[in-house]
A and B are shown apart, each in its own frame.
Chain A
Amino acid sequence: MVGHIPTTILGVFVSTSVSVLIDALAKVLLGKEEQIKLALSCLLAKGHLLVEDLPGMGKTTLSHALAKVLGLEYQRIQFTSDLLPADILGTSIFNQASTEFEFRPGPIFTQVLLADEINRATPKTQGALLEAMEERQITVDGKTYPLPQPFFVIATQNPITQMGTYPLPESQLDRFLMRISLGYPDPTVERKLLKGFNPRHDMDQLQAVTNQAELAQLQQRVTKIFVSDALLDYVQRILAFTRQSNRFSFGLSPRAGMALVQCAQAYAFVAGRDHVIPEDVQSILPAVAEHRLAGSQDVTGHEGQRLVDSVLKQVDVMPGR
C-alpha cells in the first residue's frame, strides 16, 4: 500500500545520487528495495541501525554493501560471550621505548561498524558499545578519544536463538534509530540464488558511489526536507494514541517522536520528495517504533509489530477522528 507513490507527480525533486545508491545496493541485495530504502534513510538521518533476522538472510551482506557504496571505512566484530570492552574500544599498552602508555585503538575506530550478533556479548560489553554509539567518542584510562566522522553502527541480532544471549534492554534498544528485518526472499529471487548467483562475488565489484563529503551533504539536505503542521499533527496523533490506548504498556517517548520525524524526512528524501507526507511516516513507523513499544500484556517483547499495525489502522491521517 505504501511506497508505490509516483515521485514525479508530487514535488519535482529527484536526487540522482540517492537513486544511484539504491540501484547499486539492489544489485547485491535482490528484491529488498524497501529494506534498502529504510536502511539508507536510517543512515541519512544519522542513526544507528539494528538488523534482526535469522542467520543466512543477508544481514551481513546488507551492512557490508552499505559501507561499500557509501565509500566508508568498514570493520566487523563478531560478538561472543567472552568479548571484553577492551576488545572493541582498544587498550593502553606500555611502550618500553618511550616508557609511556600508548593507546592502541580497537576496531571501533572506523566509520561503519558491523556488530554481529550483538546480543551474544555480556551486558558490560554491550554497554561499552552502546555508550560509544550515543556519545560518538570513547574514554579509556581517563582519556577521551573521538570516533571518526561519520560513525554508524549496524548491529545484527538473532531473534530466535535466545540460549546464551543477553537481550538488549528497552533503554539500549532506544539507541538504535531503526530496527529492520530482511525476511525471506521472494521465489524468483530465491531461484536466482539457487542457480548460483553469489552476492559476495558481486560485492567485490561494488564501487563506492559517493564519498564522505557527499554523504555529509546528503545528510544536510535531509534536515531541510519540509515538514508541514498538518503532518506534525498526524505524528502527534500517533504519539497520543500510543500513550492513551491501554493496549500499550507505555507510550512513545519524545525522543521516539523526534526519530519518527527525522526518519520520515530521510525517507521522503530517498523517495525524491521535498516534503514529508503521511505515507512516509507510515513507511518508517514499523522500523522506528516496533522496538520501542511493548504491549500491556507483552511477555515475549515482540508484540511491537501488532501494536504498530493498530497505530497504522486506527490513527487517522486526517484531522478529526
Chain B
Amino acid sequence: MADSRHPPVFPMPRTAFVLLMVSVTLAVLPHVQRVPPWLLAVFGIVLVWRIQVFRQRLRFPPKWARLFMVCGGVLGVVYYHGTIFGPDAGVALLISAYLFKQLEMYTRRDAFLIIILSFFVLATEFLFSTSLFTSLYVFVVLVVITAALIALNMTDTSIALWRPMRAAFVTVLQAVPLLLVFFFLFPRIGPIWDLGMKSTIARTGLSDRMTPGDVADLSQSAKLAFRIEFEGEIPAPRDRYWRALIFDRFDGKTWSAQGDPQSIPFSPNRLNVNGEALRYRVLLEPTGNNWLPAMPWSQLSGVKHRTSNGLVHYAINVVDSAISYQVETFPDYQYETEGMPRDMWGVYTTLPPLGNARTYALAKDLYRRTGRNPERMTASILRWFNEERFIYTLKPPKLGSDSMDDFLFGTRKGFCAHYAGAFVFMMRAAGIPARMIGGYQGGEAHPIGKYLLVHQYDAHAWAEYWVNGKGWVRVDPTAAIAPERIEMGSLRDSLDELSLLDSPFSKMGLRNLPFMSELRLMIDYVDYLWFKNVVSFDSGVQHKLLQRILGEVTPQRIAMLLGVCGGVVVLGLGLWMVLSQRRLLELDLADKLYLRFQRKLSQAGLQRETGEGVMSFSLRVQQRFPDQSDTINKISCLYSNIKYSNRSEKRDTDKKLTSESDSIAALNQAIKNLKL
C-alpha cells in the first residue's frame, strides 16, 4: 500500500458514477474535432482506468504518475498548438486537466469539483458554435450533469438511473423562466479580455490572397457564408454580386488585397446614384476577417464599419461571431466618373514588368485594333475567351512562372479567378485601370423562408475596369466561358463531388436523394430562425427592447425590471408548485377538516404518525387530553364514518345523520369546539 497515500475513497453510488462518466464523455464530445489527437487517447485511457478503479480492478495512479501526466499534458498542448493561450489551446489544456482530475477523484468533494468542471467545459463549446444544434446539445448534457449532481446527493445507493434524470430534467425546466428573464433583460457585457477568436475560425472560401496558378484544387466548402433577408423581391441570380474585397496588386503569381483597406476613404461626392434602393439584412456567419459582403453600392447600418474607395465595407472589429446588419443597395450607381486620384491610377494599372510577353503583346494588339476604346476592348477579350477553347474547371492544372502566358496560350483551363485575373492583366497591359473583385455570387433562394443562402462554394471573383465618364464598370469574364455559373445562381450542380464536401450527407452518400436536399433546407430554415431570433439578439437589439419597456435605460431601471421579472417568475413557480401539490392531494372536504383538526393538535404538540389510523390516533389523543375525550372521539368517529362507512345504508337505519353534508357540518362544528 505504498502508493495509496491518498484520502480514503468515498464509496460513490453506482448510479452517480455512471452518470458522472456519461457527463464527462458528453462534455468532451463536441470538442473532439478541435483538441489534439493524443488528448482523445488520454480521454479513452482515463475513462477506462477510472472505471476499472471503480470496479476495484485497478488502483489510483501514484503521485509521480499524476505529476508526469500533468507535465505531459501541458507540453502536449504547447507542442500541438504552439501556445497555451487562445481558445483552442486553452480548451485543450482545460480538458486535459479535467480528464486527469478523474484519476484524483477520491472524496465526495472531488466529485463535486468534477461536476462544476463539467459545466465549465460544456460552456466552452459556446466559444465555437452558437447554433441551435449546439444549444440543444448543451441543454441535454446540462440535464445529465445535473442528474449526476443529484445522484451524488442521493443517499439510497441502488437508485434507478431514471430517477435522478427525471429530477434533473424538472430542475432544468424550472430554470427556463429565469433563463428567459436573463436572456432578455440582463445587460450584455462585452468581452473583458481578448480571446483571440480569429485563430479558431477555419478560413474557407474567400481569402485576401489568391494564387490561381498554384491552386490545383479549389478548396470548396458547403459551409454557410451568410444569409440575406430581402424586404422586397430577391433579385435575379445574375445581379447578385456580393462584394467583399478588392484584389488590387499582382506580383506575377498572386493577386492580393492590400491596397484597398488602407487607401483613401470613400467619398460621397464622387458617387452618382439613380433609381430605387434594395433593402435587405445580411446575417453573416463568423469569418475571422473584417469584410462585410454587400452588393454595390450600399449603405450599411447596424454595424460599426468604414467604406473604402473601392466601395468595400470593412467592419471595425473582426467578425469572430455571427452578426447581422441592415443594407440599402442602389444597384444603379456610378463612381469616380470624372477620374481618380493619381496614386490610385498607378495602383490599378501596375503589372510586374517582366514575363508574360505573349499576353502583353496580345493585349496591346487588341487595344490598338479596338481603337483604344476600353469598352470595345472588353468586348473583344470576352469574345476571344468565348471563341477559343477555354474550359471552366475547378481542378485546373498548375501554371508555370509566366502564369498568364501559360494559362492563356497553354492550359486554357481555370475557374473564375483565372479568367478575372487574365482579364484584369490584359486591361492593365493595355494601360486601362482594372481590378479584380472577390466576393460571392448567386446564392440559393430558400423555398420556405423568404431569404437567400450564400455558401462558401458561392465564392467568386470578377473584374472591374475604369472608363472615363462611366466610372468603374463590372465585367464577369467567367460568364463568357461558363454562363450557367452566373445564370443558375450557384455552382452546385457542376461541382458534383466537391460541392457538399463537408456536409454530413455527402459522407453518407445520401446527397443525391431529393428529400435529403429538402431536409437540408429545412434544417437550415430552423437554424436561420434560431440565428435571427436568438443569436442576433445582441446588446443593440436588447437596448431597443429595454428602451421600449423602460423609456429611459438606466442601470437602476434595469435592476428594477430584473427584480420584478425575477420575482414574478419565482412567485409563479412557487404558486405552481403549491397548486400542483394541492391537485395531487385530491383532498375532499372531510379530509380538509380533518387536516385542520391535525393542525390544531400539532400546535398542542401531538402529531399523527404517517401510518397511524384515525381511530388509533384518536385513542392516543384522548389519553393526552382526557377532558376533551368526547369531542375528540366524536370528531374521529364522524370523520371515519364519512370516509369509510356505507352512507346510503345509513340513511335508512340512522335518522339522525341523514346526509353527508350534515356529517360534514357536524364535523366542522366539533373541530371548532375543540379547545385544547
Contact = CB atoms under 8 A, between A and B. Distances in A.
Interface string A83-107: 0000000000000000000000000
B585 A274 contact: no
B587 interface: yes
B584 A226 contact: no
Contacts of B586: 319-320
A312 B586 CA distance: 22
Nearest to A321: B610
A11 B610 contact: no
A9 to B, nearest CB: 6
B150 interface: no
Interface residues of B, number: 29
A216 interface: no
A319 B587 contact: yes
Which applies to chain B's interface (DSSP): helix, strand, loop or mixed? helix
Interface stretch (B416-424, B571-579, B612-620, B664-672): B612-620
A80 to B, nearest CB: 43
B262 interface: no
Contact of A275 (B610, B614, B646): B646
Contacts, number: 84
Given A246-B158, A316-B610, A320-B587, A279 B616 contact: yes
Given A5-B619, A317-B611, 18 more contacts: A5-B616, A9-B637, A10-B645, A246-B159, A246-B160, A275-B644, A277-B644, A279-B613, A279-B615, A313-B609, A315-B610, A315-B611, A317-B612, A318-B591, A318-B594, A319-B587, A320-B585, A320-B586
Contacts of A316: 610-611
A262 interface: no
A2 B620 CA distance: 11
A317 B614 contact: yes
A122 interface: no
B3 interface: no
A319 to B, nearest CB: 6
Chain A contact-residue range equals: 20 to 34
Contacts of B158: 246, 296
28 contacts: A1-B619, A1-B620, A4-B619, A5-B616, A9-B637, A10-B615, A10-B640, A10-B641, A226-B645, A226-B646, A230-B643, A230-B644, A246-B158, A275-B645, A276-B644, A277-B640, A278-B644, A279-B615, A279-B616, A282-B613, A296-B158, A312-B611, A313-B609, A314-B611, A315-B611, A319-B587, A320-B584, A320-B586
Interface string A130-166: 0000000000000000000000000000000000000
B587 A317 contact: no
Contacts of B614: 277-278, 317-318
B552 interface: no
A1 B616 contact: yes
A317 B608 CA distance: 10
Nearest to B619: A4
Contacts of A314: 610-611
B619 A319 contact: no
Nearest to B654: A12
Contacts of B646: 226, 228, 274-275
A228 B611 CA distance: 18
Interface string A153-197: 000000000000000000000000000000000000000000000
B619 to A, nearest CB: 7
B375 to A, nearest CB: 87
B493 interface: no
B634 to A, nearest CB: 9
Interface string B143-167: 0000000000000101110000000
Interface string B556-599: 00000000000000000000000000001111000100100000
**Nearest 10 A/B pairs, CB to CB:** A226-B646, A320-B585, A230-B643, A279-B613, A275-B645, A278-B613, A313-B611, A228-B644, A312-B611, A5-B615
B671 to A, nearest CB: 15
A279 B619 CA distance: 12
B637 A10 contact: yes
Nearest to B158: A246
A194 to B, nearest CB: 34
B376 to A, nearest CB: 91
B628 interface: no
A138 to B, nearest CB: 40
Nearest to A246: B158
Interface string A297-321: 0000000000000011111111111
Contact of B643 (A228, A296, A320): A228
A313 to B, nearest CB: 5
A24 interface: no
Contacts of B612: 1, 317
A2 B616 contact: yes
Contacts of B585: 319-320
Nearest to A230: B643
Contacts of A9: 633, 637
Nearest to A277: B644
A208 interface: no
B194 interface: no
Contacts of B616: 1-2, 5, 279
B501 to A, nearest CB: 52
A219 to B, nearest CB: 19
B649 interface: yes
Nearest to A13: B653
B654 to A, nearest CB: 8
A311 B611 CA distance: 8
A252 interface: no
B611 to A, nearest CB: 5
